[in-house]
Amino acid sequence: MNFSNLTLDNAHLFLQDLENKKHPKEKPQFKEFECDECYGEMVYVNHFLTCNDCGLTDLDRCERYYLDDPETFLRKRSFYKRKLYAIEKLNLITCRKPCRKSSYLDSVKTLSKCKFKTIYELKKLMKIQKMSKLYPYIYLIYYDLKKIKLIDLTCNQLDRIATEFVTTEMLFKSSSIKRKNMLSYYSLIYLTMKRLNYAGYENIILPNNFKEMKVHHDNYLVVQE
């Protein structure tokens, strides 16, 4: 250490450097199976690490397989990828996924000054306030304002709905329906929850063309029990 340049202004830097050499800071240990958001346990669900507590899924860390025989058949992950999309929507409507948008808190504060009762009325207010970018988090906003969770599903219920979504998609692709796109996520979640008698299905926001979608679902896409 060179003390020739020591002054009153930089003395604290010399002391800090000396302290660090005497007591070096320990590097934080990386915990492979710890959630970055809530510090819960991460487990493999459908090939991807998923937090048991908050439902966060790490799409960058995929389960690996090591095969001795190159002829061994390995099931493709596309099924699981589609299932993860459905789980993502379910995590949104059950308020499991937090919003990280910088405008969220200010938007909630603005909406707190407005009067509304239903989720549909909240959506109209958000449209008036030009908050369409926060539509995916409308159930979380409703919960933050009313302290009421409109849809509350268990992990097993989430998994079953997501599984049936993928099964229905496979039926759709093999059917003769003249539609380029399948039923919307929320329409299919609504129909599945209603058929399984899961509480809260009536609170799902449905698209304007839901009746048309329901006809296709009832005629061709009913998932076999």
Q: Strands 57-62 and 48-51: what pairing?
A: antiparallel
Cα distances from 192 to residues 91, 149, 159, 209, in angstroms, run 16, 19, 12, 17
CA 98 from centroid of its chain's CA atoms: 8
The torsion region of residue 95 among left (phi > 0), alpha (psi -120 to 50) and beta comes to left
Q: What is the mean pLDDT of each run of 10 residues along the chain (225 residues)?
A: 59 64 54 69 72 63 62 54 80 92 92 93 93 92 95 91 80 61 75 90 86 70 48
**HSE (side-chain half, CA atoms, 13 Å) at 177:** 23
pLDDT of the residue at 115: 92
SS (H, E, C) the chain: CCCCCCCCCCHHHHHHHHHHHHCCCCCCCCCCCECCCCCCEEEEECCEEEECCCCCEEEEEECCCCCCCCCCCCCCCHHHHHHHHHHHHHHHHCCCCCCCCCCHHHHHHHHCCCCCCCHHHHHHHHHHCCCHHHHHHHHHHHHHHHCCCCCCCCHHHHHHHHHHHHHHHHHHHCCCCCCCCCCCHHHHHHHHHHHCCCCCHHHCCCCCCHHHHHHHHHHHCCCCC
Place of tokens 């609170």: 203
Domain boundaries, the chain: 42-93, 104-146, 155-220
Note the pLDDT of residue 30. 47
